[in-house]
Structure 1
Amino acid sequence: MEAIRGRIAGRALLAGERLPSIRRFARVMGVSPSTVVEAYERLVAEGLIRSRPGSGFYVAGAAPSLDMRKPEAGRDRAVDPLWVSRQALDAAGDVPKPGCGWLPPDWMPEAALRRAMRQLARDDDTSLTDYGSSQGAPNLRRLLARQFADEGLGASPEDILLTGSGSQAIDLICRYLLRPGDVVMIDDPCYFNFQALLRAHKVSVVSVPYTPDGPDLAAFAAVLKEHGPRLYITNSALHNPTGATMTAQVAHRLLNLAAAHGLTIIEDDIFAALEPEPSPRLAVFDGLDRVIRIGSFSKTMSASVRCGYVVAKPEVIEALADLQVATSFGGPGPVASGIVHAVLSDGSYRKHVEAMRQRLTRARREIAGRLSGLGIAPWVMPRGGFYLWCRLPEGRDATEAARLALRQGVILAPGNVFSPALSAPDFMRFNIGQMPPKVWQVLPQVLVGAPSSR
């Protein structure tokens, strides 16, 4: 019964689809046909499936709507996460986009990427034509396991699943854990695509205010008590968009609360390599009991080579691997995983990341100073990364400023894009690597034209 529920929840079986035959499912599950008959009859009694005499058993009900074009209640389309993402993704290469979430090409290890592609082209033909294995390339999983061990996270290669991206990793976990109507907790503010992805899963979203030390624990405890969320998604280090880092004290108290309320946590660790020194990690403190770590290589290597990962308990990885096969017939193929493995193994990669951190430190100092000259104040000065979460002068309206900037060919990310409660009308997230001269010409103009949000 749980196997069928899991397939339906993960959308491997949709409304109206025929279930496996009794004999075939009995062979798959290693049980007698009579056991499958009893399981199916119980699921019919629950209303989850229905029987068609002479034909078999079918998933009941209508398929859940995934209409992403319907605007969220209370949301202006200009601050809708999907709209902002599409503006940044679809912009021409020469359009300044300080509101986007990636660095320009000249920040990436292009020479190492080209070497990796030439090396891959010389490998056997299967690297260029075959599917990858169900859990992902073993050599890359072994390399990642060694890296995680260096930071104190005990994970074997079997505890790692390679995915098509970090976003796909979260989507798989949501398919595995959630059903429509479940409650999920996120930070306020948070990475805006968390909100967009959760909309697709038809869950209820509640948020908790984020502080310079991590989530507000009093509010966190209140949400757990009142709403009983099943899942919490966060960045514990170099939080997006604020740049803040969770303290060890907050991390320990948060994990105690999660254990007491049966809460699972997704720790999105995508910015880990950009920290000057490793900060507290939920997955390390927790030992992968309630925490599932995800990440990718889009911020330090390439957003074009799509490869992410999940680190979790073996039973979770096993279920996610099945889901990934069912929904996309596996994760990244040998080309993507081969490039990532070759670049990570390249002796130049560590030097590249260190040079990137130093360059970001200089840029952060310079950009923060120039923004301050316009009356734009960073909320915190991050330890690393490439975001500055800033309050606009005199409470100017960030959404209106973003509209005006777009007319002049500059893409900004207004604060309410990141705020589930729409509580950041006078905040803006700036990408310090995406601040060419035109941005500094346009910013003073749009700030004057954006009336006060208060």
Structure 2
Amino acid sequence: MQSSSNPTLNPVALNPLARDLVQPPAALSGAGWMQGLMGDMNQAAPGLGLAQRLVEGVELRVTDGRLAPGTKMPSVRALAGKLGVSTFTVTESYSALRARSVLGSRPGSGYYVLHRPARLGDTAGLPEAVPRIADASAGHDRPPPAEYRGDDLVREALRRVARAAPDWEGGVRPSFGLPRLRELIAARHRAELPSLLPQQVMTAAGSLGAAMCLLQAWTEPGDAVLLESPASRQLRNLVLTLGRRILEVPRRGACLDIAALDLLAPRLPGDGRRRLLLVSTAVSNPLGVSMSAQGAHQALQAAERHDLRVIELDTWRGLSPVQAPSLAAMDGLQRVAQVGGVSTTLSAKLRLAHVLLPQRWVDDPALRCLHTTLGPSEFEERVACEVLADAGYPRFLQKLNTALKIAGERTLSLLTGAGLQALHVPDGGPFLCAGWPPGSEPRPGAEAVLQEARKQGLPLAAASDFGGTPQPLAWYRFNVAQCGDDRLVRFLARMKNP
């Protein structure tokens, strides 16, 4: 981080830029919203880095009304000058606030406040049937330990982007994302999709951001969508929060239940409106099982039969040691949009994904408009470029796969030794689902298991978090990257002998 004594960051030297500070409505957020900001940051979050403290300070002011929805934020240089910090610190903070959906951005217009996030525990005015999207702070979804993350790769990429910042600040953002990043992503997929063009790649603010863009562009509130079950808890929450209805298509290991899909399809929107199927192929969350070639073929046949647009959630492919099929490749990008993760395996601080689109969907005006508002920041895109071009990235993925394989085998052994049964033996990734089979004694209730897991500090989620599809046994999702031997052994012993 640059020193505040640097003349280019001196608040006095930057005083002329103060006119960039937009005066929001006086009743809700006057010009004094920055008063005491640095002190509040230091007091509220003394253990965090400067960028994260700035995030907390700004978010607090949005929450308490000092920054009203629609307020235009100071430019990066103006805020850096006012606070006496580096432009890199402000850029990183704005990117994080954007990822949290506290701030939005428009090409050429800078950043503005999106809405007032609720304080923790404040659920007034929210209908019970509509869960929050931003609940990823639950224990079983916290970031994996440092040895499973690519923080070193990201930090080095951040340094390179920060050094090049004067060369790319300002200007109009290109549609669908940074051209260099889109070319890098297209090149990585040309083995399976040889005719893929960079124009068919859309960047996104994480896999949930990609799903949000596609759902909002192609469906309307009240529409039903087909979603495999079990499915990611955050994805389910997103669909419901957007006002769409979920029709659960059971996932039977490596295949969808096509008979169930055929029965549900007539309940999808008609009259020429978009009909969506959301499905995961490689190392699905939470099961950790990849779709078989036969299962993928059956899913594509059903999509053609019922005129479905398929959203293939492929964010975990980098953690699939087996050669999982790709619906987008098998379909030739005709009716499949593939969501891939750029940052899933790297760091919780970087939230960036991409969507591979059929050529005939590229000019969708609704999708382009949503990307302008909800897409990732150029800063994050440039960091992703550096990471993908780094020769150490493939080595990191190989090392991560090995570490997860060892952790998965260790966790499965401990679970089996305690009398639990795996719902499926995962093909890879960080998740393993298991439970006590019927007839085993003692067989503790779900609430007792979850309460004890919280006491032990064990990241655990119940089957009900991921959908209502019946399974042969009551199961729980374990994150193998978080399951240290001692904690898991203590937990299982306590549950077996309460």
**One-letter identity of the residue aligned with 1:397:** G
Contact 2:426–2:432 (CA<8 Å) still a contact in 1?
A: yes
| Aligned mates of 2:361, 2:256 — CA distance in 1 | 26
Give the total of aligned pairs: 365
2:353 match: 308
**One-letter identity of the residue aligned with 2:477:** R
Contact 2:223–2:269 (CA<8 Å) still a contact in 1?
A: no
Contact 1:103–1:433 (CA<8 Å) still a contact in 2?
A: yes
Q: 1:407 to 1:109 in 2, by over 3 A?
A: closer
1:276-355 to 2 correspondences below 5 Å: 276-319=321-364, 320-325=367-372, 327-328=373-374, 331-355=375-399
Residue of structure 1 aligned with 2:413, choices 365, 369, 373 = 369
| Aligned mates of 1:68, 1:234 — CA distance in 2 | 32
1:381 match: 425
1:43-442 to 2 correspondences below 5 Å: 69-72=126-129, 82=132, 86=135, 89=137, 97=139, 99-100=140-141, 102-127=143-168, 132-152=173-193, 154-225=195-266, 227=268, 230-319=275-364, 320-325=367-372, 327-328=373-374, 331-393=375-437, 394=440, 396-421=444-469, 426-436=474-484, 437-442=486-491
- SS at structure 2 position matched to 1:442: helix
Q: 1:126 to 1:318 in 2, by over 3 A?
A: farther
Contact 1:68–1:200 (CA<8 Å) still a contact in 2?
A: no
Per the normalisation by structure 2, the TM-score is: 0.68
- SS at structure 1 position matched to 2:363: helix
Q: How far apart are residue 355 of structure 1 and its match?
A: 1.2
| Aligned mates of 2:423, 2:287 — CA distance in 1 | 7
Same amino acid, percent of matched pairs = 26
Q: How far apart are residue 442 of structure 1 and its match?
A: 2.9
Query: For each residue in 1:210-253, what CA deviation from the matched residue of structure 2 results, as whole angstroms up to 9, or x when unmatched?
Result: 11222112212222245568211111111111111111112112
| Aligned mates of 2:209, 2:348 — CA distance in 1 | 14
Q: How far apart are residue 448 of structure 1 and its match?
A: 5.1
Q: 1:410 to 1:243 in 2, by over 3 A?
A: closer
Contact 1:405–1:443 (CA<8 Å) still a contact in 2?
A: no
Q: 1:444 to 1:154 in 2, by over 3 A?
A: farther
Greater CA drift, 246-255 or 117-126? 117-126
**One-letter identity of the residue aligned with 1:234:** V
- SS at structure 2 position matched to 1:389: strand
| Aligned mates of 1:444, 1:128 — CA distance in 2 | 57
Q: 1:287 to 1:68 in 2, by over 3 A?
A: farther
**One-letter identity of the residue aligned with 2:184:** L
**One-letter identity of the residue aligned with 2:180:** N
Q: How far apart are residue 372 of structure 1 and its match?
A: 0.9
Q: 1:247 to 1:153 in 2, by over 3 A?
A: farther
| Aligned mates of 2:337, 2:129 — CA distance in 1 | 28
Q: How far apart are residue 396 of structure 1 and its match?
A: 3.6
Contact 1:228–1:261 (CA<8 Å) still a contact in 2?
A: no
Contact 2:459–2:479 (CA<8 Å) still a contact in 1?
A: no
Per the normalisation by structure 1, the TM-score is: 0.74
Q: How far apart are residue 123 of structure 1 and its match?
A: 0.8
Contact 1:282–1:291 (CA<8 Å) still a contact in 2?
A: yes
| Aligned mates of 2:473, 2:167 — CA distance in 1 | 52
- SS at structure 1 position matched to 2:247: strand
**One-letter identity of the residue aligned with 1:299:** T
Q: How far apart are residue 402 of structure 1 and its match?
A: 1.1
| Aligned mates of 1:68, 1:315 — CA distance in 2 | 41
Query: For each residue in 1:238-273, what CA deviation from the matched residue of structure 2 results, as whole angstroms up to 9, or x when unmatched?
Result: 111111111111211221111121111111100011
| Aligned mates of 1:398, 1:126 — CA distance in 2 | 55
Q: How far apart are residue 289 of structure 1 and its match?
A: 1.5
Q: 1:110 to 1:323 in 2, by over 3 A?
A: closer
**One-letter identity of the residue aligned with 2:128:** P
Q: How far apart are residue 343 of structure 1 and its match?
A: 1.2
2:101 match: none
Q: How far apart are residue 154 of structure 1 and its match?
A: 3.6
Q: How far apart are residue 178 of structure 1 and its match?
A: 0.7
- SS at structure 1 position matched to 2:339: strand
Q: How far apart are residue 324 of structure 1 and its match?
A: 2.0
Contact 1:398–1:425 (CA<8 Å) still a contact in 2?
A: no
Contact 2:352–2:376 (CA<8 Å) still a contact in 1?
A: yes
Query: For each residue in 1:160-205, what CA deviation from the matched residue of structure 2 results, as whole angstroms up to 9, or x when unmatched?
Result: 1111111010001011111122111112211112211111221221
Contact 1:221–1:257 (CA<8 Å) still a contact in 2?
A: yes
2:38 match: none
1:94 match: none
Q: How far apart are residue 128 of structure 1 and its match?
A: 5.7
Contact 1:270–1:296 (CA<8 Å) still a contact in 2?
A: yes
Contact 2:158–2:383 (CA<8 Å) still a contact in 1?
A: yes
Q: How far apart are residue 82 of structure 1 and its match?
A: 4.8
Q: 1:101 to 1:295 in 2, by over 3 A?
A: farther
Query: For each residue in 1:79-110, what CA deviation from the matched residue of structure 2 results, as whole angstroms up to 9, or x when unmatched?
Result: xx759x73x516xxxxxx4x226432221223
Contact 2:420–2:435 (CA<8 Å) still a contact in 1?
A: yes
Q: How far apart are residue 407 of structure 1 and its match?
A: 4.4
Contact 2:336–2:358 (CA<8 Å) still a contact in 1?
A: no
Contact 1:187–1:207 (CA<8 Å) still a contact in 2?
A: yes
| Aligned mates of 1:102, 1:232 — CA distance in 2 | 28
- SS at structure 1 position matched to 2:323: coil
| Aligned mates of 2:434, 2:449 — CA distance in 1 | 13
Contact 2:435–2:473 (CA<8 Å) still a contact in 1?
A: no
Q: 1:178 to 1:399 in 2, by over 3 A?
A: farther
- SS at structure 1 position matched to 2:300: helix
- SS at structure 2 position matched to 1:125: helix
